Structure formats: structure tokens, C-alpha cells
Chain A
């Protein structure tokens, strides 16, 4: 479904990603793990068109995304839930969700809204509150919910567990799995939380200073001595 083919992304001539290739198949949860500064966020920004791709190609079902602008990429069914949530703090929860459905008809929007409120009952309770007044965990839920409102073909999550307490982290990962199973949504997940993300991912890639160093099934990587030593402290 999504192919990233040998891309290079640079910040002022300094490459942040070198020769990165990966694939996401329909219906999969694919994880990209790596430490701070490995280039995980850059990868998602390149896919969603917020960072120009210097070399290589990004293809979604035959459409070359790297030649398109951000809003056009969104229209092709790519939803990017940015790191640090990127919600609209001065608008209500409901308005944030409506904004997520920018590309959808009113019927599709209302249908999806029911689903989002079913997944996140807390958002329903707080629908008329300003988004900036939500707790950290609720803001994460809102960001994911807003991503779902676009009815994307692929949902890209940038560190959905960042800065959350362990109980909420578990909850977010459970939800990611639920969305994948119940709605059949393809998910590309970028995480520093290696243990949890490898548990939910069908397949995963390990990114180190701008290059992919390992790939394999989620469970497989969990058992990999290299991963255990570098990321799990075993």
C-alpha cells in the first residue's frame, strides 16, 4: 500500500534520513522505533509532505506522494497525527473533530463522529470544552480522534504515548490495536516506547541516526538480542 523507496531528507544539506526504504501493507500496524533524533518524526513529515524529499520516492497505491503538497497528500487518505498533538487549543473538542473531517461530507462526518465518541467516551463528555483545557491524555485522544475523522486509508501516529503516565500509555496502545482490528485501518506508528509498540506492531523497523538498521515482525524484534540490549536494557 505505502512504499517508501530509498528516500533522503535533508535539513540545510545535513541529511536527517539516508536511504530509508520501508513498506506498509494494507491492514497492518507497522512500527518505526528508535531513540530521540533518529529521524522518526522527519520520516512522517516527509510522507505527509511537510518536509521535502531530496531523493527517492514515496508511493501510495501508485500515487507518487513526494511530488504533492501536504493538503493533497491528506486528500489521498494519509492522516498524520503530529508529535506534541497539534490540536487547536482555542477551539472546542467538537470543532477540532469537525476540522478533522475537512475532506468529508456532512453524513460521513457525523457517522465518523459517532465512532470516535464510541472509542473515546471522554471526548463526548468534554465535547463543548476548549481543547486546551483537556488533560494531556485527553489531548492525545483528541489528536487521534481528529486523525480518524478524516477516514484515512493510513493513519500515521507520531509518539502517541509521549509524556503520558503508564496507565494511559497502555490505554492508547490498546486503542491503536482496536482501531486496526475493528475498523481495518492501516497504521504507521513511530515510537520511543519500544516495548509497547513492538507488542502491538505486526512488523517494525529500527531507525538509528537516519538509517534503518533492522526490520522484522514485532515479536521477532522483541526477542532480538540487539534490540533487547540497545532499547530494552536487557
Chain B
């Protein structure tokens, strides 16, 4: 993407705003909403590595989210291992599982891959519901550690600690995406997305590169899974291995625009406040209303602009550039005549 004059100052302003946010807005509800927006931005970016750049639409990413949450939580509750170490362990587990799922399912093309990921997601939900060692269907409560120390990954007096941790994760995911866009691996993935046969005929091992993308995607998703567990302090198969999570990850990226850096962040910024506000204001009376809105959004995006909000913005900018160039040529023509 080309950068225009105002993009860098705007980006710096956004970063400063995000850093100052918890001090500008001290209400717990706003802080919580912002944490969720950022969390889903990171999840959208994570999904985007596979779904956006490699073009493999997954509806099973809750697997990696759940594995991250369960690995760190189990290691902490059973062995007292710091969730920070558990987070790394969770990412490793997720990468291994992504290879086990990816190896057979990348042989499937298009829709069949998406269906396979839904099935895989359900298998993991069922396993964890019945696995007594990790709490079965009841799940695991994470014991509260007072003191709000960074090393404990728990904050009770204020949510600011969580806020900066997830903001740092967003920074990491955004930088990784930025690097991927400029790295040859990013170009290989885009080539695979556009035309897998042509990519193969150039000597690109398509399955292998898809697996790289999935591993990267799984690792980031698992890290956020640990964050979620520490934020909520309770996990169960129905919350972390839910199909809902997989769908929302995909939706955040698709709404904003897949295969772009800003897309998943914009998608989360639009979708999450909407979900939170409908939940708060309509919660009791119309639970699940936000799901209806999601459904409508999917329909609107797929009919109107499959490229998402980013594509709508790009279209607008192209028109704007064309208009300006027309003005310049008109002016030049007028100058010649005069």
C-alpha cells in the first residue's frame, strides 16, 4: 500500500491515543470495551495470516485459542508455572497441532478446507468437554493472585495492566504483518492465494507455505488465548473452544478487509463495540441480537464488497485520485489554450 502525506502523522497520533487511552477514559466499561477491541484486532490479524495472505478460510481457530488458554491455565493451576511461560508453551502446542491439522486438510481445496476446520474445531470442543483432568465441561477457575504484579499476569485494582499487555500484543502482531507484507514469504503466500496452480508450477511448495502461515496464525491465536484466560480468570470448553470464537475471528478480518494490515483492526473497531453495546442495552431482552447483526453484515459484505471496508476505502481513494488528476489535466489543457 502506498503511503500518502498524512498517513504517517495519522498513524503516530493513533499510537499516542492508544497509549494514553486508559488515562483519558477511566470508566471501567470503556476500558473493558477497548481491551476487547484490541484483543479481537490481534485475533483478526492472527486469522489474517492464514485466511488473508494465504487465502485459506478457517472456521476452526478456536482450537488454537482454546489450546493457548488451557495450556497456560493448566500449567499454572497444577504446577504453579507462570502464565508468561505457559503462554509460550501454549503457542508451541498450537503450532504443533496446526501442523497436524494442516498436513491432511491442505489437500482439500476451497470450501472443503473451511468445512474440515469446522469439524476439527468441534472435535476439540468435545475432547475438552470430556477430559476430566482439565476440568471437563465445568472448566478451570484460575486462583486469584493479589498484588497486581506484571509477572503474575493478573490485575484487580485496575484493568490498565491488561490493557498494556494486549496493546503490546497488537504491536507485535501488526509489526509481524508489516514484515510479512514486505518479505518474500508474504509474496509467495499472495501468489498461492491468487493462483495455487501457477504458484506450484514456479516451484513453490504450496502445502509447506500454507503450513507456515497456519503455524504463525496458530501461535498468535494461542497467545491471545492465554491473555483471555488471565483476563477472565475462568475458562471452559464452551467459552474458549466455541465455534462462535472461530466465526468472530474470521468476521473481524473479513469485515475490515482480508490480506491487509489495517483491515482486521478496523473490523474489530466496528464489530466489537456494536456487540458490546447491543449486549449491554438489549442483553436481557434480545440476547443474541448481535449475532443477527453479524449475519446481516456477512450478507452485505459478500454482496456489496467482498474486499471489506478497506476495499471500499481504496475504491474511494482511487476515484479521488482520478478526479484530482482530471483536474490537473483540465487545468493544463486550459493553460495551453489560454
Contact = CB atoms under 8 A, between A and B. Distances in A.
Interface in B128-187: 184, 187
B188 A99 contact: yes
B194 A88 contact: yes
Contact of A100 (B188, B195, B200, B202): B202
Given A71-B206, A75-B203, A150-B202, A90 B194 contact: yes
Given A99-B202, A102-B202, A150-B202, A91 B197 contact: no
Interface string A29-73: 000000000000000000011100000000000000000011100
A157 interface: no
A87 B195 CA distance: 8
Given A90-B190, A91-B191, A95-B187, A48 B201 contact: yes
Given A86-B195, A90-B194, A102 B188 contact: yes
Contact of A82 (B190, B201, B206): B201
A74 B200 contact: yes
B321 interface: no
Query: How many A residues touch the partner, as a band?
Result: 20 to 34
B315 interface: no
Interface in B179-236: 184, 187-188, 190-191, 194-195, 197-206
A88 B190 contact: yes
Contacts of B194: 88-91
Interface in A93-111: 95, 98-100, 102-103
B202 to A, nearest CB: 5
A9 interface: no
A153 interface: no
By size class, the interface of chain B is: 10 to 19
Contacts of B200: 49-50, 69-71, 74
Contacts of A103: 202-203
B201 A74 contact: yes
B187 to A, nearest CB: 6
Contacts of B184: 98
Contact of B190 (A49, A80, A91): A91
Contacts of B202: 74, 79, 99-100, 102-103, 146, 150
Contact of A88 (B195, B203, B205): B195
17 contacts: A48-B201, A50-B201, A69-B200, A70-B201, A74-B202, A79-B202, A82-B198, A87-B198, A88-B190, A88-B191, A88-B195, A90-B194, A91-B191, A91-B194, A99-B204, A100-B202, A150-B203
